[in-house]
Chain A
Amino acid sequence: MAVVALFVFSLLYLTPGDPAAVIAGDAATSEDIKRIRAGLGLDEPFLVRFGGWVWALMHGDLGVSIFTNLPVTHLIGQRVEPTLALTLCTLLISVLVAVPLGVIAAARAGSWTDRAVMAFSVLGFSLPVFVFAYILISVFSIELGWLPVQGYRNFGENSFWDWLRHLILPSIALGTVYIALIARMTRASMLDVLAQDYIRTAQAKGLAPVPVLVGHALKNAAIPIMTIIGIGIALLISGAIVTETVFAIPGIGRLTVDAILRRDYPVIQGVTLLFSAIYVVINLMVDLSYMLFDPRIRY
């Protein structure tokens, strides 16, 4: 995490673009620019700025947005809800769809069902999020008119259904790559486990196929699946940035894109740090979850 912090900071420190010049506008003199620089503390040496930044970070302060003059934590706080709703919804749909798909594909390895799942998985990898998103919009929103084209409703503002229907298309668009990834890993992991002796024993003693698949095989195949769910969070994060742009959802992804276009360093720093922290924490939780699936693992 320390490496990330140093990296994120020095990355933005070395930028050629000058935010002071951006704020001052076209008519500003060089004195104006110098004054704004001093006001923002941009003229101090690298280590001083980095030290101050880390100190503030420890106190939960991500700095003030250069463009809007609001604290970065406040800006992120405003935008958390849509992104959280979108990613959680996607996560839920993806796991609920992908794991059964992978299990079925592994149980019927070589059949046309298996081939169809694998074909879908390769396709899912190859279709960029936004291309698929536009296909979904044109079919379900424009042609059929079932779901809204763009936008987001805050939770609890209108009816639950109104909130949900704005999330359906974005979640499906965002989830496709993720589903492809998880389904593929589930299948591979299940095939490994299904070749084990204890599965043959379970089948031989006359257990029904479904309990064998779920109770014996899936539980033992769970660790690689959990790992890929954790790693795949990176896909969700980058996908969320694009999906929010396509569907005009005012979330953190949209905040990131706007900040990049305005070269608003503190916001870019804050968002990158936040996403990386979430990614690390989720993967730590995944590591800890191994204990649930395999009691032999102790930390």
Chain B
Amino acid sequence: MTAATAALPAPVSASPTLRQFRQAFRRHPTAIAGGIVLLLMILVALLAPWLGTVDPQAVTPIKRLKQPSAEFWFGTDMLGRDVYSRVVYGTRVSLSIGIAVAFFSIVVGLAIGLVTGYLRWLDAIVMRIMDGLMSIPPVLLAISLMALTRASIENVIIAITLAEVPRVVRLVRSLVLTLREQPYVEAAVAAGTSLPRILLRHILPNTTAPLLVQGTYICASAMITEAILSFIGAGTPPNIPSWGNIMAEARSLFQIAGYLIFFPGVCLSLTVLAVNLLGDGMRDALDPRLARRM
């Protein structure tokens, strides 16, 4: 270690696991790159009004379908709206849907999985229902749910969450099934600990690491699902500029205005890529045994 780094105050808060985590992260530059891109995207979403954007809904019919230029960085669409502003504001929609779906499906899946993994009589019933839901391909499930309800961001989040929950339940249940056989859980049972306390204090903390990784993958796939739903006209309402909607509107104009699909498409792919890389990095950091394999 060089003198310069030695002179720095030692990180006091770093517990052994946290230090391992950091070291592993250092070994995975792609994960860091992913984290940086994701952070940039979050900043873009938060700072959208101050990034040289105009009102994403403002219609200027006289400036329809302009190619990208100094005035309109990403060009304008068929109603003369500024695509750059729409893409920047779209970051908000796509990111918030991705994060919301990841959060809710983890919470719901965790609750169901914890209880069913521990209570055998409930397990059989709930898992049959989950198997049934799993046998419908997730995007199809989300599509049919969206066909029923009014198009709104909340409904998109609910539909995608419902499609993702069975997979989280499966993961949590399999974790709980191994954890409940651990000696420390048996010890807790023997000591007369109540069931909720066993679940919350002894089992829940051991599921966080895999769930964190799973959460990033759900976030990535939710953003793609939202784009697919919007693209086929069953997603976010058309007046909200999500990346999927911008591309959906450009569908028929593809041959004359390819940039309408190119910019939101690149943003979406880049963000999903960043989230996936971050997830891979976290998985490697948290599970060194798997890291050598994958």
* A binding-site residues for B, Cβ under 8 Å: 1-4, 7-8, 11-12, 14-17, 122-123, 125-131, 134-135, 137-138, 142, 149, 184, 188, 191-192, 233-235, 237-238, 241-242, 245-246, 256-257, 259-261, 263, 268, 272, 275-276, 279-280
Contacts and interface: CB of A to CB of B under 8 A. Distances in A.
Interface string B45-89: 000000000000000000000000000000000000000000000
B130 to A, nearest CB: 9
Interface string B131-173: 1110111111001111111100000000000000000000000
B148 A11 contact: yes
Contacts of B277: 122
A256 B293 CA distance: 40
B293 A279 contact: no
Contacts of B280: 122
Nearest to A275: B140
B258 interface: yes
Interface of B: 128-129, 131-133, 135-140, 143-150, 220, 224, 227-228, 231-234, 247, 251, 254-255, 258, 261, 265-266, 268-269, 272-273, 276-277, 280, 293-294
A130 B261 CA distance: 10
Given A3-B131, A128-B227, A260-B143, A275 B136 contact: yes
B273 A268 contact: no
A15 B146 CA distance: 10
Given A4-B135, A122-B280, A272-B144, A241 B232 contact: yes
B136 A125 contact: no
Given A12-B148, A122-B273, A130 B143 contact: no
A11 B142 CA distance: 11
Grouping DSSP codes into helix (H, G, I), strand (E, B) and loop, the B interface class, with mixed when no group exceeds half, is helix
Contact of A11 (B145, B220, B247): B145
A111 to B, nearest CB: 15
A14 B148 contact: yes
Contacts of B140: 237-238, 241, 256, 272, 275-276
A257 to B, nearest CB: 5
Contacts of A12: 144, 148
Contact of B269 (A126, A184, A257): A126
A105 to B, nearest CB: 11
Given A3-B129, A263-B147, A131 B247 contact: yes
Interface-centre pick from B133, B144, B146 (highest chain A CB count, 10 A): B144
B255 A142 contact: yes
A16 B135 contact: no
A128 B232 CA distance: 13
Contact of A279 (B137, B149, B261): B137
Contacts of B143: 241, 256, 260
Given A135-B265, A192-B293, A276-B136, 7 more contacts: A125-B220, A134-B258, A138-B258, A241-B139, A259-B147, A260-B233, A272-B144
Contact of B261 (A127, A134, A191): A134
Closest 5 A/B residue pairs (Cβ): A3-B132, A238-B139, A131-B265, A234-B137, A126-B273
Contacts of A192: 293
B268 A128 contact: yes
B220 A129 contact: no
A246 B3 CA distance: 59
B272 A16 contact: no
Given A3-B131, A16-B149, A272-B136, A137 B220 contact: no
